[in-house]
Structure 1
Amino acid sequence: MCTGGEPRVTVVLAVYNRARDLPMAIASVFAQTTPAWNLVVVDDGSTDGSGEIARRYLWDPRVRVLSLGENEGLGNALQATLPHVRTPYFVTLDSDDWFAPTALAELTAAMDEGPADAVVASANAQHWREDSGRLMRDHVLRGRAFSDKFDVFRYGPYLVPRFYRTEAVLRVGGFERDPHGQGRYYEDKLILLKLAAIGRFLHVDRVLYHVRLHAANLTRPEERARLNAIKKAMYERMMREWGDPYEIVWKTHPEGWLDVADLVPRESAGAQDRRTH
């Protein structure tokens, strides 16, 4: 089988009980306009046969399947795949989402042609809502480029796809089991903040990713307070690691999510001394 040369990117797909949706996600990888990819599927303790479905694709030498003994959470599952990523770039794919056919080619080109300190590339995402078993086109989430790490810090929406420079992710320690989210919550936000401190983010202004909206990926209202507390602690930790130059002003959206409203520069010690004398 012709694989189109040495792979430049690894698709990392963590799955937990998504047997129904997984074939569509994997099919979108096989449908890429470039065949120069690897695919690592990690079965995060599924009990619905998701792992067995993934193993059906092992006939292709580009595919590898890992199995975790029990459910560890998305961030921990992604961390488990990193020793198996041997390409300059990797991109994550949620098991209920799918790529546009040119996603890998366009994102690889953006990173190859971009500045040497580019660590992440993203694009725009078409959302689809399930209605009586049918997928109905919903809104498009448009990403953007960022001026610096504090611009990333202020940004509320999620970035997809998340196309990483492998070396950079390893340099910042990967997807850690942090004390707040335990590698289960906001693993995407945490790795992006860590990467924002060392390099630039690129944006391809095209729809290269498709997001499936359904009841299973909508967080219950009673969970929001706990998740908001995890996000707040995580962001405050990162600001401290950056030297605590700003006070974080928080806002709550009508639907109950906590987000960064503003960053207010802290007064210097000298200015505070002058006020007290």
Structure 2
Amino acid sequence: MQSGGEPRVTVVLAVYNRARELPLAIASVFSQTTPAWELLVVDDGSTDDSFAIARRYLWDARVRVLALGNNVGLGNALQAALPHVRTPYFVTLDSDDWLAPTALADLMAAMDEGSEDAVLASANAQHWREDRGRLVRDHVLRGRPFSDKFDVFRYGPYLVPRFYRTEAVLRVGGFERDPHGQGRFYEDKLILLKLAAIGRFLHVDRVLYHVRLHAANLTRPEERARLNAIKKAMYERIMREWGDPYEIVWGMHPEGWLDVADLVPRTSAGAQDRRTH
């Protein structure tokens, strides 16, 4: 451990066949302005050199590598990592993305300075596209604060980075292998909805995360119907668990993704009637 005291945040980096991109993701952790981190690389059954590349960093005592053997999907890999997280916070990093140098310090400060019911902090993300072997700036995805759990429920875009309070994630059961996504799809949406039910989300209005856009992370149009069905079932389940106070009005994003267009309040009698049938 370098100077800076005990580690306070774990970067959980699940990787599956990203040998080419993995070094940049790991380098962004080593470039953090705070040294108070641990890095847990979870190899999700890679068949390329990802595991071997991750092990090259074991010279630093802050780095650990966990091999799952078989490919189980991102949500299941993150759940496998949870028992190995020994810091009050952790943040997930996709193996083809990277962190801004102040990401851990800024997000940790936001959580430290926030109220005790803050369970997650996020920020803004710079997107990059690959063009003939070079990374070229694309758009910036700006996050925002949320008023309550239903505001989170309505929110369509993804949140990055996702900087979690470890205790809160454990309290809601972690990254569940739900019957719809099977821990492989929408694991990020599901954990956010579960956390929104117990606490507040914070937003740091800075670019603290970098997303790589390339063909491998763009979902094929023919898969969208299946993914939309998974999302619909997952969200309807959560609304039922919250007491079914709203009817979900679904809309379609121009790119073909299912989004929550509106939430229409149910009458108390109607909601009770639905729960008893």
Interval containing the TM-score (normalised by the shorter chain): over 0.9
Instruction: Measure, in 2, the Cα distance between the counterparts of 1:3 and 1:110.
Output: 22
Aligned match of 2:230: 230
Alignment of 1:246 with 2:222, yes or no, is no
What are the equivalent positions in structure 2 for 1:40-59 lying under 5 Å apart?
A: 40-59=40-59
Shift of 1:255: 1.2
TM-score (norm 1): 0.97
Alignment of 1:107 with 2:107, yes or no, is yes
Shift of 1:2: 2.3
Do the aligned partners of residues 270 and 181 (structure 1) sit closer, same or farther apart at CA in structure 2, a change above 3 Å counting? closer
Alignment of 1:34 with 2:34, yes or no, is yes
Instruction: Measure, in 1, the Cα distance between the counterparts of 2:2 and 2:152.
Output: 40
SS in 2 for 1:64: strand
Aligned match of 1:132: 132
Shift of 1:252: 0.6
Do the aligned partners of residues 270 and 30 (structure 1) sit closer, same or farther apart at CA in structure 2, a change above 3 Å counting? closer
SS in 2 for 1:140: strand
Do the aligned partners of residues 39 and 267 (structure 1) sit closer, same or farther apart at CA in structure 2, a change above 3 Å counting? same
Aligned match of 2:171: 171
Do the aligned partners of residues 271 and 179 (structure 1) sit closer, same or farther apart at CA in structure 2, a change above 3 Å counting? closer
What are the equivalent positions in structure 2 for 1:252-267 lying under 5 Å apart?
A: 252-267=252-267
Question: Any stretches of 5+ residues in structure 2 without a counterpart?
Answer: none
Task: Give the share of equivalent positions with the same residue, in percent.
Answer: 89
Q: Deviation digits for residues 237-272 of structure 1, max 9, x if unmatched? A: 000000000000000112110000000001221899
Alignment of 1:80 with 2:80, yes or no, is yes
Do the aligned partners of residues 176 and 101 (structure 1) sit closer, same or farther apart at CA in structure 2, a change above 3 Å counting? same
TM-score (norm 2): 0.97
Aligned match of 1:63: 63
Shift of 1:4: 1.5
SS in 2 for 1:6: coil
Aligned match of 2:11: 11
Alignment of 1:2 with 2:2, yes or no, is yes
Instruction: Measure, in 1, the Cα distance between the counterparts of 2:105 and 2:193.
Output: 25
Deviating above 6 A after TM superposition, structure 1's stretches of 4 or more consecutive aligned residues are 270-273
The AA in structure 1 aligned to 2:269 is A
Instruction: Measure, in 2, the Cα distance between the counterparts of 1:271 and 1:208.
Output: 42
Instruction: Measure, in 2, the Cα distance between the counterparts of 1:154 and 1:2.
Output: 42
The AA in structure 2 aligned to 1:117 is D
The AA in structure 1 aligned to 2:135 is L
SS in 2 for 1:76: helix
Aligned match of 1:197: 197
> Pairwise CA RMSD of aligned residues?
1.3
Do the aligned partners of residues 272 and 47 (structure 1) sit closer, same or farther apart at CA in structure 2, a change above 3 Å counting? closer
Q: Deviation digits for residues 88-124 of structure 1, max 9, x if unmatched? A: 0000000000000000000000000001100000000
